[in-house]
A and B are shown apart, each in its own frame.
Chain A
Amino acid sequence: MAAGKVSDMPIAGSVLRGMRNPFRSLSRALAVVLLLSLVIGFLALMVQATLASRQKITAMEGRVRTLIELREAGAFGTGGFGGDKPIGEEHFSVDTLENVLRIPSARHLARVDEYVYKPDIDPSRRNAYAMVIGLHPGAALRAIGEVDYENARIVAGRSLIPEDAKARVAVVGRLYAQQRLGIEETSGAAIAGRQLVLGGRPFQVIGVYATENDFGDNHVFVPIGTFRDIYHPGRKLSKIFVTVDSVANVETVVADLRQRLPEADVVTTPEAVSTARTTLGSLSVASAYAAVLLFAIGAVLIVFVMILSTRERIREIGTLKAIGASNAEVAVQFLAEAAALSGLGGLGAALLAAPLARILSRVLELPVAFDAQAMAFILTGSIAFAALGSLYPVIRGVRLSPIEAMRRIG
Chain B
Amino acid sequence: MSSQIVTDARSALIELRDVAKIYRKGREEVRALDGIGLAVAEKGMVAIVGPSGSGKSSLLHIIGAMDRPTRGEVIVAGEPLNARPEAGLTSFRRKTVGFVFQSFNLIPNLSALENVMLPMEFDGVAGDERRRRANRLLDRVGLAARLGHRPRELSGGEQQRVAIARALANNPPLILADEPTGNLDSRTGQMIYELLKEIAGERTVLVVTHAEGLAQMADRILHLKDGKLVADDPSQGLKKQPVDRPGTTGSA
Contacts and interface: CB of A to CB of B under 8 A. Distances in A.
B109 A2 contact: no
B129 interface: yes
B109 A21 contact: yes
Given A319-B101, A402-B66, A324 B90 contact: yes
Interface string A169-186: 000000000000000000
A53 to B, nearest CB: 46
B66 A401 contact: yes
Nearest to A405: B66
Given A319-B101, A403-B61, A326 B87 contact: yes
Interface centre among B105, B124, B125 (most CB of A within 10 A): B105
A323 B125 contact: no
Nearest to B105: A319
Contacts of A321: 90, 93
Interface stretch (B2-10, B115-123, B212-220, B232-240): B115-123
Contacts of B108: 24
A351 interface: no
A5 interface: yes
A208 to B, nearest CB: 60
Contacts, number: 79
Interface in B30-73: 61, 64, 66-68
Contacts of A362: none
Contacts of B98: 323
A337 to B, nearest CB: 11
Contacts of B122: 10, 323-326, 329
A10 B121 contact: yes
Interface residues of A, number: 32
Interface string A13-52: 1000100110110000000000000000000000000000
B107 interface: yes
B124 A4 contact: no
Contacts of A13: 121
B93 A323 contact: yes
A9 B125 CA distance: 9
Contacts of B64: 322
A324 B94 contact: yes
A8 to B, nearest CB: 5
A401 B21 CA distance: 15
Nearest to B176: A322
A404 B61 CA distance: 11
B126 interface: yes
A401 B62 CA distance: 11
A10 B120 CA distance: 9
B86 interface: yes
A316 interface: yes
A249 interface: no
A325 to B, nearest CB: 5
Contacts of B101: 319, 322, 406
A7 B127 contact: yes
Contacts of A401: 66-68
A318 to B, nearest CB: 8
Given A321-B90, A403-B61, A24 B126 contact: no
Contacts of B121: 10, 13
A402 B127 contact: no
Interface centre among A8, A315, A323, A404 (most CB of B within 10 A): A323
A151 interface: no
A309 interface: no
Interface centre among A2, A318, A320, A403 (most CB of B within 10 A): A403
Contacts of A9: 124
A323 B126 contact: no
A143 to B, nearest CB: 64
Interface string B121-161: 11111110100000000000000000000000000000000
Contact of B93 (A4, A315, A324, A329): A324
Contacts of B105: 315-316, 318-319, 322, 406
Contacts of A24: 108-109
A348 B108 CA distance: 27
A1 interface: yes
Nearest to A323: B119
Contacts of A5: 126-127
A388 to B, nearest CB: 25
B129 to A, nearest CB: 7
Contacts of A1: 124-126
A142 B67 CA distance: 81
Contacts of A327: 86, 90
A320 B46 CA distance: 25
B119 A324 contact: yes
Nearest to B117: A13
A78 B68 CA distance: 94
A9 B121 CA distance: 7
Contacts of B94: 323-324
B170 interface: yes
Contact of A8 (B93, B110, B127): B127
B163 to A, nearest CB: 10
B109 A8 contact: no
A402 B124 CA distance: 20
Given A323-B98, A323-B122, A326-B90, 6 more contacts: A8-B124, A17-B110, A322-B93, A323-B166, A325-B90, A326-B122
7 contacts: A1-B124, A10-B122, A13-B121, A24-B109, A322-B101, A324-B90, A406-B66
Interface of A: 1-2, 4-5, 7-10, 13, 17, 20-21, 23-24, 315-316, 318-327, 329, 401-404, 406
Across the A-B interface, the 5 shortest Cβ-Cβ residue pairs: A324-B94, A1-B124, A2-B126, A324-B122, A319-B105
